[in-house]
Structure 1
Amino acid sequence: MSKEIRITDNFMCATVMKNEYICRSFIERMLGINIEKIEYLEREKDLRADPFSKGIRLDVYVKDSDRTFTLEMQCDDRKDLPLRTRYYQGLQDISFLDKGNLYRNLPESYILFICLFDLFGKGLPIYTFENTCIEEPSVSLNDKCRKVFYNVKAWEKENNLERRALLEYFYGRKANDDLTRAIEDQVHLTQNLREWRKEHMTVEQEIKLQASYAYDDGFSQGIDQGAHDARVETAKILLANNVDLSIILKSTGFTAEELENIKKND
């Protein structure tokens, strides 16, 4: 019997959020806002400033008429999350301004992390950050950026009942309202799709392979270089076995152009 894959699995969460109703309702609840219509929804969106810079892969990227929303599922307690939000924001802004837009046209931006741990250790269910003046906290920078970290472990402390239901569900409790039941149904439907499980298994195996390469090479070359070399070796293995290009891109984080260069230099 295949193991059960929960919503807290990154790949599962990204897949479920492709459902526009679920994604829109989830963001509305978590932020307490209304979204009339999602204009753009992309799972595992790749962003990088240039071919030689560090790229990122966003689990879920959503755009409406004048706002962008990035949603990430985070299972491991990594202390670099605050710095990652800084880099995420920068790359998103570069991507937008690359089209010739003016600074004043930058959209309102929300970066959301659903965490299975308490990143800041204060026991709060939600940590929301905006840029304000240190000398006069009532003065906002008005840069239209907001970073929100959800701590599902503290779901019982959340006063908003609808948001509490979502945090409770992500914590591992049973679905208990319309939205969490809709998410649960989508999870069950997705994990029973043979092609999805095959894709999930491939990604999972390659992540483990990358981690092992990074560990072995990290001592002599540094963790960053080791991780990069691991991704290159992973790409070579998958290319040699004629694995579908879309799966290689998702598994390694490389762009199509970078994969082409790896093939040429192999």
Structure 2
Amino acid sequence: MTKSKTKRARKPLKDLTLLDRFLFDTAMGVPEICQNILSIIFSDREVPPIRIGISEKSQESYYDSRAVRLDLLAFDENDVVYDAEAQKKNTGGRNLKRRSRLYQSHIDVNLMEPGDLDFGKMNDVYIIFIAPFDLFGMKKYKYTFRMMCDEVPGTPLDDGAVRIFLNTRGENDAEESPELVEFLHYMEKTSHYDKIIENERVRELADQIENLKGSQEVGVKYMRLWEEMEELKQEAIAEGLEEGRAEGRAEGLKEGRAEGRVEGRNEGLAEGRTFNLLENIQKLIKNLNISADQAMELLEIPQEERAVYREKIESKS
């Protein structure tokens, strides 16, 4: 397949929603917008002014780019830590729930200096996932999790860690603030919902997002990122196919001759393809700071094959 045939059309910046990773991450990198979004999510309190912090001690995890993106965190003036993630695709309840655990662990490991034994100094941490699907199936807009005691119901561990899952398609409007409900609708329909916004704070956010979309700097950044991702995708596909054919053919013919059957060649081709696609997945993860699932999406790996690559990637971590 030629490069021109596989190249995708770039989605216009104006059509992005806040569930698109580029726009969400760009917005959360602006302290004023980040504070606005967090204050809407925590509608029972006003989140103090935010600073965007860069963790110099961050541990890179090549198989999950979001762990790498955790270098970028929001801190309020009380040093409460926030990490908010837009999750557009449903990769499974087990995957996403445990990924939230991974994110929390990556934050926690960087909150203390080596040798420091005063764990009471650890910051409060909020991990927030925003998604256009209901991970728990109870039609709620918001699911908040804290550690609780099994033996004494209602007794919290109070360890300062909270994980929140937001669902843009909840149905319990009467149980949540109108502000949060409208924000979650706006998250999914950013490009054409802004004209009918009623809540003042969400309207302010919509104006902030429109200003971002109209920024020349943001537009150039988006175009360059898309071009880099497309080039890497094309290179990875071409390299994987070529190396997979060459190595697989050589190994397959060798095994086929030894065993006196044609199947060896086919098995060798398959093994060569798997090896090279695995390398290309890891290359995309490292170079683009994207997740393994996003890398496999770019490489157009069939859904039924992806579990094999996830297992191989995680076994090397």
TM-score interval, normalised by the smaller of the two chains = 0.7 to 0.9
Contact 2:141 2:168 (C-alpha < 8 Å) held by counterparts: yes
1:49 aligns with 2:59: yes
Residue 130 of structure 2 aligns with which residue? 114
Q: What runs of 5+ residues in structure 1 fail to find an aligned partner?
A: 236-250, 254-266
Contact 2:128 2:163 (C-alpha < 8 Å) held by counterparts: yes
**1-side partners of 2:46 and 2:278: how far apart?**
40
CA drift of 1:68 comes to 0.7
Q: What runs of 5+ residues in structure 2 fail to find an aligned partner?
A: 1-10, 245-270, 291-317
Residue 74 of structure 2 aligns with which residue? 62
1:10 aligns with 2:21: yes
**1-side partners of 2:231 and 2:57: how far apart?**
23
Equivalent residue for 1:30, pick from 27, 41, 55: 41
CA drift of 1:129 comes to 0.9
Amino acid at match of 1:63: F
Contact 1:210 1:231 (C-alpha < 8 Å) held by counterparts: no
CA drift of 1:188 comes to 1.9
Q: 1:53 to 1:75 in 2, by over 3 A?
A: closer
1:179 aligns with 2:196: no
Contact 1:47 1:92 (C-alpha < 8 Å) held by counterparts: no
Contact 1:22 1:182 (C-alpha < 8 Å) held by counterparts: no
**2-side partners of 1:111 and 1:51: how far apart?**
18
CA drift of 1:122 comes to 2.1
Q: 1:17 to 1:104 in 2, by over 3 A?
A: same
- 3-state SS, counterpart of residue 70 of structure 2: strand
Q: 1:194 to 1:46 in 2, by over 3 A?
A: farther
Q: Deviations over 1:26-66 (max 9, x none)?
A: 2123122233332x2148x7874368886421396211223
Q: Deviations over 1:64-105 (max 9, x none)?
A: 223111111111112222111111111111111136542111
Q: 1:109 to 1:166 in 2, by over 3 A?
A: same
Q: Which has the higher contact order (CA 8 A, sep 6+)?
A: 2
Residue 261 of structure 1 aligns with which residue? none
Contact 1:8 1:73 (C-alpha < 8 Å) held by counterparts: yes
RMSD: 3.3
Aligned length: 234
Contact 1:108 1:145 (C-alpha < 8 Å) held by counterparts: yes
Contact 1:59 1:73 (C-alpha < 8 Å) held by counterparts: no
Equivalent residue for 2:139, pick from 123, 148, 153: 123
Contact 1:69 1:111 (C-alpha < 8 Å) held by counterparts: yes
TM norm structure 2: 0.62
Name the structure where strand makes up a greater proportion of residues: 1
Residue 284 of structure 2 aligns with which residue? 230
Residue 249 of structure 2 aligns with which residue? none
Amino acid at match of 2:217: E
TM norm structure 1: 0.73
Residue 86 of structure 2 aligns with which residue? 73
Report the identity percentage. 22
**2-side partners of 1:184 and 1:221: how far apart?**
45
Q: 1:103 to 1:170 in 2, by over 3 A?
A: same
